[in-house]
Structures are given as structure tokens and as C-alpha cells.
Amino acid sequence: MEIGIAQLLPSFAYEGITDAKVYEDEIALAVAADELGYDHLWAVEHHFEDYSLCPDNFVYLSHVAALTKRIKLATGVVILPWNLQPLRVAEKMALLDVLSKGRAILGLGRGLARREFDTFGIPMSESRERYDESAPLVLEALETGWFPEHHGKYFEQPRAPLRPGPLSHEWRWNRFTQVAMSPDSAEQAARLGAQMMAFNYKQPAVQKQEYEDYRAAFRRYHGREARPLLLTEMMVCDGDAARCRELAEKYVANYGISVLDHYEMLGDQFKAAGGYPTYAEAAEAMRGIGKDAIIKSYVEQQVWGTPDQMLRKFEERFEFMGQYGVLCVFRFGGAPLEVALNSMKLFAQEVMPVLRQWSAPARIASAR
């Protein structure tokens, strides 16, 4: 079972924090994750706002590579429509693979925040086409060592070698992930042979159906089973249940507010932009629910609590959805470094060893 950490690098709700301090704290968590036995570390790409301060996850992960020994390092994710030369994405990934001695994982996505698209001068309506055109090119370059000649709607590129080349040309089945938060993105992930990654904010029945549809599409395209879903969770782990609830209701709620603001989830830009029908429908539904109810539901949906409480939540999830990989987010919403580190350590000591024993729901009871 895969268990990693995702780093969002936010400054939202961190009163008085400098951008440099954000990185100092996240680097401390990255080094600790390596020492504590987490499988992989995922760094996002976001621009311009305190929601997330990571404009180049390749640079960040290259620095982390020099400070760690074993943890795999994943772009979680590179937003392809914002990176106007797919060749440069392939080159950066190949270089990260060399610098990390083969620990790199490719994660791709198409982006969602209107303000980021607008600042780059790229219409949101082009995001799907840009992604669909560039993602196969990046993947082919990493798997062959050569970026293919291409003449498309958005990109013109002569054939070119990747130098340095990646240490391995095996990416599609083992080291390639796509964030997929809508049915069309899940379909595209399956078509490309990517592992599906998602964030936990949808109702379990909806998430389960999208995961099952992805797995069926993967079998249809490739004649083999997909790797398990990677589901990203906001986590607080504490030995005191009352204190943990207090921390979660503060920090998870703050993060939920930052999501609503950054992505303008209560606005109508998804409908106006085109290409995001699932989000347009979700935004309309959320406007009817109201911000306070949305945040309350979001807090309760995340996995937090004492180690035993968290294991019970995972047990319920796995029995309903089947087993999936877990991406833990420990620093968010104003949670101090000490709180994030304590959660990370306690989770690694008391939750992770049990999760690693679970290979199927039927084994859960005997593992605990």
C-alpha cells in the first residue's frame, strides 16, 4: 500500500509568515518524511497567491533530492497548459530523475484556477485541448529519450533528444500519475495509462463511482488493471481526541476556505469558461448549500483523529471503495510546524504500520 505526503506550500492563515519561512517549514517536513518511511513526496504547482507558493515544483524537488535518501519525489502536479513548451517539461523531469538517482515520479494536470490562467494569458477553455496535445508528447519523450516531432494546434516541435536522459524509460505503468477530479479527466488518465490521483472532497459514493469508471476504462484501453487510486487527505493526528477535533475544526476549515477562495468555487466562471461542466454543476450546487455548510462537511470528510479513530475511518473507506493509496497533507490552514510534525510522526508510528498490513478489506480486523 502506497503512503506518501503531499506538500501544498501555503501561507494562507499563517499570520506574519514570510515566504522564506514557508519553504523552511516544508523542507523540514520533507526531510522528516524521508526519515519516517513515507513512500513518496508530492509537490504542487501554483502561482501568485497565498493558497500555494510553488511556481516550479521541479526546482523544489531537486533541492529536496539533495537532502533526502530514499523517498520518491513526485510533481503533484505539473499544470501542462501553463508550461508552454512540453519539451521543457520532459527535460526537467529527466534532470530530476538523474539528480534524485531514479526517484522521480511524473504527475500531470490541466489546472482549475481562473486567476492563474488569466495571469498567464491562457484561456481556461483551451486547457483540455492543450493538455491532451502535450501530455502524450511528454510521456513519449521520457519513455524513448527523444521528444517526437510534432505539428499540432498549440505546439510545433522538431524531434529532439533529452539530455541528460532519464535513468529509466519505464514511466507509464510505474511512475506516471494524473490528477483527475472530473469524469473526463479520469477518462483521459485511463487512456494515457496514468495512475489516478484525487483530492478528498466529493461524497464517497461519487468518488467510488468515478474510481470504478476509471478502472473500467483503464482495462478497456490497456487490457490490464490500473494501479490503486491515490487519494489526498488533510490530516491531523493526535493522541488526545478532544484536542485533535479542536485542531481539525480550525486548520481543516481554514484550508477549505482557501480552496473556495482560490478556485472561486462559488462563482460562475466554470460555466463561462467552458470545458469544465462538472465544476460548473458543482458550483451551482454549492451556491445552494452555502459556505458554512460546505466547510463543515469538508472538515468531517477528512481523515483526522487519534490513531485508532483514523484507522476506523480508513476501515470504513476501504470496505466501501476498496483499498487505495493515501497521500497525507499535514501542513495547511495555519497549522504550525510543530503540529504538522507531531501529526506526521504519530501517523508514521501508529497508523502507517497497520495500513501497510492491509492488502484487502477482509484482512482489516485481523491486522488491528
Q: Domain for residue 255, yes or no?
A: no
How far, in Å, CA of 316 to CA of 198, rounded? 18
Domain of residue 317, residue span: 3-240+305-358+362-366
Count how many domains the chain has.
1
Nearest to 78 by CA among 50, 102, 56: 56
Q: Domain for residue 285, yes or no?
A: no
Nearest to 75 by CA among 50, 112, 100: 100
pLDDT given at position 365: 41
Among 39-48, 200-209, 358-367, whose mean pLDDT is lowest? 358-367
Confidence of residue 362 (pLDDT cuts 50, 70, 90): very low
> What does the pLDDT look like over 170-205, one tens digit per residue?
999 999 999 999 999 999 999 999 999 999 999 899
pLDDT above 90: residue 238: yes
> What does the pLDDT look like over 300-357, one tens digit per residue?
999 999 999 999 999 999 999 999 999 999 999 999 999 999 999 999 999 999 999 9
If phi over 0 gives left and psi between -120 and 50 gives alpha, with beta otherwise, what is residue 113? beta
Nearest to 336 by CA among 19, 5, 26: 26
> What does the pLDDT look like over 152-173, one tens digit per residue?
999 999 999 999 999 999 999 9
Look at 36 and 365; give whichever has higher pLDDT: 36
pLDDT above 70: residue 363: no
CB 298 within 8 A of CB 201: yes
Q: Domain for residue 109, yes or no?
A: yes
pLDDT given at position 360: 47
pLDDT above 60: residue 116: yes
> What does the pLDDT look like over 43-100, one tens digit per residue?
999 999 999 999 999 999 999 999 999 999 999 999 999 999 999 999 999 999 999 9
Q: Domain for residue 144, yes or no?
A: yes
Nearest to 14 by CA among 283, 339, 368: 339
Q: Domain for residue 190, yes or no?
A: yes
Nearest to 30 by CA among 59, 77, 69: 69
Return the amino acid letter for 27: I
How far, in Å, CA of 142 to CA of 169, rounded? 6
pLDDT given at position 1: 92
How far, in Å, CA of 48 to CA of 72, rounded? 27
Q: In angstroms, what CA-CA distances link 91 with 29, 87, 303? A: 27, 6, 37
How far, in Å, CA of 120 to CA of 78, rounded? 15
Q: Specify the residue for cell string 514570510.
A: 18
> What does the pLDDT look like over 317-331, one tens digit per residue?
999 999 999 999 999
Q: Domain for residue 176, yes or no?
A: yes
Strand partners for 40? 72
Residue 114, domain CATH = 3.20.20.30
Mean pLDDT, the chain, as a whole number? 95
pLDDT given at position 359: 62
The reported pTM is 0.95
Alpha-carbon torsion 7, 8, 11, 12, what sign? negative
Host H or E run for residue 8: none
Residues whose CB is less than 8 angstroms from the CB of residue 236 and which lie 6 or more positions away in sequence, other chains included = 244, 247, 248, 251, 252, 304, 305, 330, 335, 339, 343
Nearest to 106 by CA among 41, 177, 3, 196: 177
Q: At what angle do helices 127-144 and 183-192 cross, to 10 degrees?
A: 20
pLDDT above 70: residue 271: yes
Confidence of residue 273 (pLDDT cuts 50, 70, 90): confident
Nearest to 183 by CA among 128, 221, 238: 128
Q: Domain for residue 266, yes or no?
A: no
Largest CA distance in the chain: 60
